[in-house]
Structure 1
Amino acid sequence: MNTTPSRPAPVRPTPAEREELARLLPVPPERELSGRHRQALKDQLLREFRQDTAPAAGPRSAARRLTAVAVPLAAGALAVTLAASGALDREPGARPHAGVAPAPDRSPAAVLLDRIATVAAARPAPAVRDDQYVYVASTVAWSSRGADGSAPRLDTPHSRGIWLSVDGSRPGLLREKGMEIPLAGDVDKSGRPVSDHPAGNPAPTLGNPTYRYLESLPTDPGTLLKKIYDETRGSGPGPDQEAFVTIGDLLREQMAPPKVGAALYRAAARIPGVTVVDDAVDAAGRHGVAVARVHAGERTEWIFDRNTLEFLGERSVMAEDTAWARSGQITATTAVLTRGITDRAGDTPRRTG
């Protein structure tokens, strides 16, 4: 079945929003960054971030880290220092979270995210069975440190494919760098379980969701953001950054139902410190406009097509010099190429028409 989403028609802002967006989208993209993607992901990163007790691993659960693979090293190394000093509870200068999501504003980022949410909500919801898989194909590159402790450098972008059970009752599959890694129970080449542990994700969470779990999330942005803050409290480098990263994870290697996807974007607009980057480049060399947030000198960007506002990928860039990396250094980059639904792990969506 063909479930790869079709590209929506270009979005036309309202007159009131056009003035806000005019300064965001006028600059012709530059192509100079496409040559910077040069090195390859270290295989050991698949295992390095699986233990929740490791301070540098960030907040993701063991199962989620297996699918997300890695945390940018600049942020991870900082987490070690903060954990040792007991400073992980709040970001410097962050307002306290009393359980009430802040009201939306009309900042450039909020205007852009509202337009993105409107497009997401208008997409048709796919017909999905419990026994199927969400499939995401992407190009990715992460930073890795040399064994001699040398500064982290970005690896060469490479292909990555992941299959996640729709309801979590079956093992998923990760295909990357010539490896096929079962996610939970063992599977054979056809994607069928072959072990005594058939469940792939029987207890999904925000950090390790299934499609059915995403369907159950509230579609009111304020309620959804409160849930994210509540369930990630005490994790990661700080509540605001953790909320932003959690939403990014939900968007990157899953398929959110349209109304939930729209709510996630509108929830992100309420996180303090979210801004717009006029031009950003994903791992496939595609330029777009980005919604971003800076934490500990590193800027995390969600990149969108300028015309369709379709999610293209993510990029992490150093916004200032730190002990771990230099300003302007790209520490992570991804590009989502295909999303779809398949009947078996290892299959790709069939195209028709």
Structure 2
Amino acid sequence: MNEDERVELVRLLPPPARPELSADRHRLLRGHLMSELREQPVRVRRGRPGRVVVPALAGGLALALVLTGGGSASGPDRSQAPQATQAPQAQPSAGSAPLNAAPVAAVRLLNQAADAADRAQDTTPRGDQFVYVKSVQTYPSTDEATGEATKGTPQNREIWRSVDGSRWGLLVMDGQRRPTGQDLKDPHARPDEPAPHPLGGGWLEPTPGNTGPSGYAYAAALPTDPDQLLAKLKADTKGQGPGPDQEAFATIGDILREQLVPSPVRAALYRAAARIPGVTVVDEVTDAVGRQGVAVARLDSGGVVETQWIFDRSSFEFLGERTVAVKDDGSWRKGEVTGQTTILGRAVVDQVGDRP
């Protein structure tokens, strides 16, 4: 066969089929990609104020390789074979953000926080002890006459929660004692409510079993597999809130905010949050006491308020949570902080009223 005949035969043959990757190979390559992303530091390119913009080229190409099953180095050489005609690729519209920019940054930050939690050394409390959390909170109040929201003022907050839920807890806000059931002559008040505590504040009823997100037993019993954890949170909150994704995000925040969460569960919570669609990164965030940090955020279903979890830039410690208006809406202007909780300390103590 001469050269002309060979070329003509090649032209008539169909192009070689592209090798398809098995499902296991897809998962392996995707896992390798995500590991590389976790190991890379967050690099910030200044774009719009307050947002992290991450170049998408490397991640986008790698994901394209994994998802399309592109050939490996050992695949057939098609450099001399005719290529199938490909439809032109759609181009992003002018001004659009790079594909994967915010999701990749959010996954990276949450995985860094999870890795830091994995390295943390825990103190496991006894059932007869209390989890103590000190914070500064600012939340709006509503004028009963007009129904309008008014901006709150910062308040120091201390809370003692029973580890096993069998004992009375205590909540103290700026040393003020809030009315209890007995003060209000509530006929449904428990007759065994303790006498007022010397620190003031109000008593928190025992919660045997600690079955809610604010209980230590609930947090300690959560799965450490992120997928199983996210599935449980969605099952536990089914039918609540604006939707399963937003409710799962809010519930993770509830667990992290005023509880002592074992480090394996804390790491799983961060990795579970990285699997929730719509989570983004906000750079250069300042908490209520002036600490600089970086946040992951998610917009609520109404598109008015964004919930942000603030982390220390170096240690990736959870510093607190805040909500920010993303548009003008009656009482709030775009960019205003509508509420926040800044964590100042956590500890395990033996008695209600004990401080570390």
Q: TM-score, normalised by structure 2?
A: 0.65
CA distance change for structure 1 residues 303 and 24 in 2, over 3 Å: closer, same or farther?
Answer: farther
SS in 2 for 1:156: coil
SS in 2 for 1:128: coil
The correspondence of residues 173-322 of structure 1 with structure 2, limited to 5 A, is 173-180=170-177, 186-188=193-195, 200-207=206-213, 209-295=214-300, 296=302, 297-322=304-329
Aligned match of 1:119: 116
Aligned match of 2:71: none
Counterpart residue type for residue 123 of structure 1? A
Deviation at 1:142, TM superposition (A): 0.2
The correspondence of residues 68-87 of structure 1 with structure 2, limited to 5 A, is none
Aligned match of 1:156: 153
The separation in 2 between residues aligned to 1:259 and 1:19, in whole angstroms, is 22
After superposition, the C-alpha distances for 1:224-270 in whole angstroms (9 at most, x for unaligned) are 00000111111112211111110001000000001011111111111
The separation in 2 between residues aligned to 1:328 and 1:340, in whole angstroms, is 33
CA distance change for structure 1 residues 187 and 236 in 2, over 3 Å: closer, same or farther?
Answer: same
**Unaligned segments of structure 1, at least 5 residues:** 1-13, 30-104, 192-196
Counterpart residue type for residue 215 of structure 1? A
The separation in 1 between residues aligned to 2:315 and 2:161, in whole angstroms, is 27
Is 1:328 the counterpart of 2:335? The answer is yes
CA distance change for structure 1 residues 238 and 151 in 2, over 3 Å: closer, same or farther?
Answer: same
After superposition, the C-alpha distances for 1:303-351 in whole angstroms (9 at most, x for unaligned) are 01111111111110011223553311211011100100010011102xx
Deviation at 1:163, TM superposition (A): 0.3
The separation in 1 between residues aligned to 2:325 and 2:49, in whole angstroms, is 23
Aligned match of 1:134: 131
CA contact (8 A) 1:173 1:180 kept: no
CA distance change for structure 1 residues 142 and 320 in 2, over 3 Å: closer, same or farther?
Answer: same
After superposition, the C-alpha distances for 1:267-308 in whole angstroms (9 at most, x for unaligned) are 111111000000222222222100100112110000011111
CA contact (8 A) 2:103 2:279 kept: no
Counterpart residue type for residue 113 of structure 1? L
The separation in 2 between residues aligned to 1:24 and 1:232, in whole angstroms, is 37
CA distance change for structure 1 residues 285 and 27 in 2, over 3 Å: closer, same or farther?
Answer: farther
SS in 1 for 2:42: helix
**Which of 322, 333, 347 is the matching residue for 1:340?**
347
Aligned match of 1:82: none
CA distance change for structure 1 residues 16 and 229 in 2, over 3 Å: closer, same or farther?
Answer: closer
Identity %: 44
Aligned match of 1:22: 43
CA contact (8 A) 1:163 1:174 kept: yes
Q: TM-score, normalised by structure 1?
A: 0.66
Aligned match of 1:59: none
Deviation at 1:19, TM superposition (A): 5.4
CA contact (8 A) 1:281 1:315 kept: no
Deviation at 1:106, TM superposition (A): 6.5
CA distance change for structure 1 residues 237 and 323 in 2, over 3 Å: closer, same or farther?
Answer: farther
The separation in 2 between residues aligned to 1:19 and 1:217, in whole angstroms, is 29
Structure with bigger gyration radius = 2
When the two chains are superposed, the root-mean-square deviation of aligned CA atoms in Å is: 3.0
Matched residues, number: 255
The separation in 2 between residues aligned to 1:175 and 1:344, in whole angstroms, is 15
CA contact (8 A) 2:132 2:160 kept: yes
After superposition, the C-alpha distances for 1:93-127 in whole angstroms (9 at most, x for unaligned) are xxxxxxxxxxxx96110111001011112111203
CA contact (8 A) 1:24 1:276 kept: no
The separation in 2 between residues aligned to 1:243 and 1:149, in whole angstroms, is 33
Counterpart residue type for residue 202 of structure 1? P
CA distance change for structure 1 residues 322 and 216 in 2, over 3 Å: closer, same or farther?
Answer: same
CA distance change for structure 1 residues 206 and 282 in 2, over 3 Å: closer, same or farther?
Answer: same
Counterpart residue type for residue 186 of structure 1? E
